[in-house]
Homo-oligomer: A and B are copies of this chain.
């Protein structure tokens, strides 16, 4: 893996969109603002290959020379997210399609499919030509594969996808008999008697697809996406200069980002746009989801993929397309707040999107640092000041995050919840509430994705793990969890855990299935919370009614409906550890009570007493700890420092009440 050795600022730049006469001045103004890297070229296919097999790199040759002269480093994007019109018109089989096979056409972006051999051939060639031509250039420091893989859409329905899906399934199941059994196609006469009868999801009545088939379809999409990235990475590695890295800018649906990173990348980057939460289609005044602060959830995800990641696109201005997305401009301080939110969560490279707002195209309102008028402005001043703050944070670069607990996830359950609305309602509700409790009670967490190879050590770093609703539970994961608990860990699971096997089929066992030995509970009855009844908001959405087995303690009981008095929260010891079983989905109040019960609540409370609207994060490096405090509100927030700490930005010791201004941030060395 690649890791930045010090904080770096970057910016996304589109030399092809501007008069060449502007380039040098742009680079100099960037440098003046502390920006040392530009990400370029990710949408330039038609410039590089204006006709099939004709390659022209002179425009970027000139640009790279200038970068070299000006000391600017360059990340090059491969341009495969936007095939030229000549390609898609001549070879429409490269296009993605809707379920009814209507092709998605030239005119926007990401309209291709991963599995067309023709597209793969064209992509291999353009990547190889670019790599051959540019990889040895001294200004180049890294490569971005494609752009935002699986953004715009994460479903694919072309004929190439049908064929590839069959191959994917043959590899996994070998025989149709096994596939039919795995999917339970005996239902509704669904049995396949030839591989050719299988397609990516086509139009069916009431979208009533078999969910186990869908689960494999999502796995297939992930596999296709990763293979596409690997194909490019393998070409790039043939030409890559020593020290240069390969990345992609991600976190989109239907892709196993962990496997993608492991198989294709040196480092992972994320595109962070918290202003979406404040757009004109949202109600930030009444929202209960923490608005822009909830981008921290994405950043926790990102650092689960890659602890020392980069931000390839950090929002610097209002986002917007001509046809959708209306956002207010970031308020003074928000650019800095959001960039520091990324840094606090582990980003070592912050590349702003974008240097100057495009005066044309679909993204005409996706504002950059500079506005159309190209004058210095408050955003440029913020970028420069932010760079200065980063200088002061130098010792923190590469520090590890200190978490009070881990949230366990896995792609099987992630995708099962896409195919299964019962699963989705429960899981998405709980994830939102666990995050909210963590934030409002200053109890930070890491995310750990489980797969069949996950080592015990990945869990045993944490005294407590929440695995809210692992409906799909495999033998190997149940073993891992058992080992974890036996060794002293605390496992927290919620309703519907253990319901399903790896294909998303319910197991014919007393619930919570494979987890029953750990939970010591038996679920004999269960129900969605009825909209016809009053319910305690502490236990929302779904109720597994828990019958405690021998040795299991009841921590709380339902107070409503026909099961009032039955257990809803239990605790069972196993070895040195224990398992908490919550019969319902999670609410922020119940999570906070569990934090308290498990003695992980507010680990920094001996250092600082902070109001709910401030996010606290702790980073650790070389034995030193750094506490980040971020104020997401437009109002002052008062923190009470319980002991003397060193304010890294103010460069002095502080104690007692301190004030964070609107959108203000502080870092305290403890």
Which residues of chain A have a CB within 8 Å of any CB of chain B? 14, 16-17, 43-47, 50-51, 79, 82-86, 89, 96, 98, 100, 102-111, 152-153, 183-184, 186-194, 196-197, 199, 201-214, 278-280, 282-285, 291, 318, 320-324, 326-329, 331-332, 357-365, 371-375, 377-378, 419-422, 425, 499, 503-511, 524-533, 561-562, 634
- A204–B107 Cα gap in the complex (Å)? 6
Q: Are B510 and A82 in contact (CB under 8 A)?
A: no
Tell me whether B209 and A107 are in contact (CB under 8 A): yes
Q: In whole angstroms, what is the CA distance A219 to B657 when docked?
A: 63
What are the 3 tightest A-B residue pairs by CB atom distance, in nearest-first order? A184-B360, A187-B361, A108-B208
Bound CA–CA A209/B364 (angstroms): 12
Interchain CB contact under 8 A, B326 and A425: yes
Let me know if B532 and A188 touch, CB within 8 A.
no
A419 touches B322 (CB 8 A): yes
Q: Are B189 and A532 in contact (CB under 8 A)?
A: no
A17's nearest neighbour on chain B, judged by CB, is B186
Asked whether, in the complex, the Cβ of B210 is within 8 Å of the Cβ of A104, the reply is no
A332's nearest neighbour on chain B, judged by CB, is B562
B204 & A108 in contact (Cβ 8 Å cutoff)? yes
Question: In whole Å, how far is A46's beta carbon from the nearest beta carbon of chain B?
Answer: 4
CA distance A110 to B361 in the complex (A): 32
Evaluate contact between B524 and A106: CB separation under 8 angstroms: no
A568 to chain B, nearest CB (A): 15
Beta-carbon contact of B187 and A378 below 8 Å:
no
Q: Return 7 A-B CB contacts under 8 Å, by A number.
A: A89-B197, A100-B102, A108-B208, A206-B321, A372-B499, A372-B509, A375-B524
A188 to B106, alpha carbons, bound, how many Å? Answer: 10
- A180→B191 CA distance, assembly (Å): 47
- Report how far A320 CA is from B527 CA in the complex, Å: 12
Assembled-state Cα–Cα distance A205/B107 (Å): 9
Known: A17-B187, A282-B531, A322-B419. A205 touches B109 (CB 8 A): yes
CA distance A194 to B96 in the complex (A): 22
Decide: A187 near B505, CB < 8 A? Known: A328-B529, A510-B373. Answer: no
Q: Knowing A203-B104, A360-B506, A419-B323 touch, does A85 contact B531 (C-beta < 8 A)?
A: no
* Min distance, Cβ A259 to any Cβ of chain B, angstroms: 25
Residues of B within 8 A of A184 (CB): 17, 358-361
Report chain B residues within 8 Å CB of A526.
329, 371
Known: A17-B187, A187-B360. A205 touches B104 (CB 8 A): yes
Contact B103 A203 (CB under 8 A): yes
Q: How far is the CB of A558 from chain B (nearest CB, A)?
A: 14
Residue on B nearest A277 in the bound complex, by CB = B532
